[in-house]
Amino acid sequence: MTETLVIVFVKNTALGSVKTRLARTIGDFGALKVYEELLLITKQAINKLETDVRIYFSKEIDSNEWVKFPKYKQQGLDLGERMSNAFKDGFNDGYKNIILIGSDLPDISTAHIENGIKELEDNNVVFGPAEDGGYYLIGLNMLIPALFKSKPWSQPHLLQTTLQELHSLNISVGILDTLNDIDTYEDLITSDFYKNNKKLQEKIQQLND
C-alpha cells in the first residue's frame, strides 16, 4: 500500500449511457466510440503511476475492464455524494493523499496526476480546472465534506463557487493546468485528440453516412 491513492471515475461502456450531449450530434454509437478512445488515454496515464489506483464504475463493476486494478461501484445520489464516498473509503483505509479524476480527458497525462499529488504537499486541496468551469481532477489530504454538498454540478461556475467556499474556510488550494474535456460536438472537432485520430474520424463518418 502506498501513501497516495488515485481514484478513477469511469462510465460503464453501454450504448446510450456515455457522452449523451455529444450523442445528440453524432449518435449513440459515435459517442461510445469517442468514450472508448478517451478511456484508452486514461489507461495510458494511469498505467505509469507508482501509486495505488482504484477504479469506480458508474453502474456496475465490469470484470472484463481495468483487470489490473481494484474495482468498486460508485455510491450516492449525485456526483458530489459519489465522490465524497469514494474519498471517505480511501481515507478510512489509511491513505494520506487522494486524487480523483474523470475519464473523458483527451489530454490527461501521468504528469498531470503526479503534479496534483505534489501540490498536496503544500495544500489541503488541489484542482485541475476544466475549460467549461468545472474540474477534471480533485485531490485532498483530508476529508472536507462541504466540498461535495449543495454544489452546482455540471454548471459553468462550479469551480469558482467551490474555490470561494474554500477561501472562506481558510483552506489552502493548489491549481493545476487547465484542460478541456469532451462533452459536445464542438469540443470534439476542435480537439487535437480528434484531429489527429483519422480512424476515429472515419468511424464517426461511417456511422453518420
98 vs 16, which has greater pLDDT? 98
Q: What is the pLDDT of residue 206?
A: 85
| Ramachandran area for residue 58 (φ above 0: left; ψ -120 to 50: alpha; else beta) | alpha
Residues 181-205, mean pLDDT to the nearest whole number: 90
pTM, two decimal places:
0.94
Long-range contacts formed by 119-123: CB under 8 A, 24+ apart: 119/174, 119/176, 120/174, 122/172, 122/174, 123/172, 123/173, 123/174
Query: Residue written as cell 467549461?
Result: 132
Is the predicted pLDDT of residue 209 greater than 80, yes or no?
no
Q: What is the pLDDT of residue 205?
A: 85
Q: What is the pLDDT of residues 92-114, one digit of tens each?
A: 999 999 999 999 999 999 999 99
Domains belonging to the chain, first-starting first, are 4-208 (3.90.550.10)
Q: What is the pLDDT of residue 183?
A: 87
Is the predicted pLDDT of residue 126 greater than 90, yes or no?
yes
Q: What is the pLDDT of residue 192?
A: 92
Q: What is the pLDDT of residue 98?
A: 98
CA 188 to the chain's CA centroid: 17
Q: What is the pLDDT of residue 207?
A: 79
Asked which of 32-41, 99-108, 178-187 is least confident by mean pLDDT, the reply is 178-187
What percent of the chain lies above the pLDDT cut of 90?
Answer: 81
Q: What is the pLDDT of residue 203?
A: 87
Is the predicted pLDDT of residue 71 greater than 80, yes or no?
yes
Q: What is the pLDDT of residues 151-160, one digit of tens each?
A: 888 788 999 9
Is the predicted pLDDT of residue 87 greater than 80, yes or no?
yes
Interatomic CA distance for residues 69 and 89, integer angstroms: 16
Helix, strand and coil percent figures for the chain, each rounded to 5: 40, 20, 40
Q: What is the pLDDT of residue 56?
A: 98
Q: Burial-class residue 109 by CB neighbours within 10 Å (0-12, 13-18, 19+).
A: middle
Answer positive or negative: Cα dihedral of 22, 24, 26, 31: positive
Q: What is the pLDDT of residue 174?
A: 97
Grid cell at residue 120? 498536496
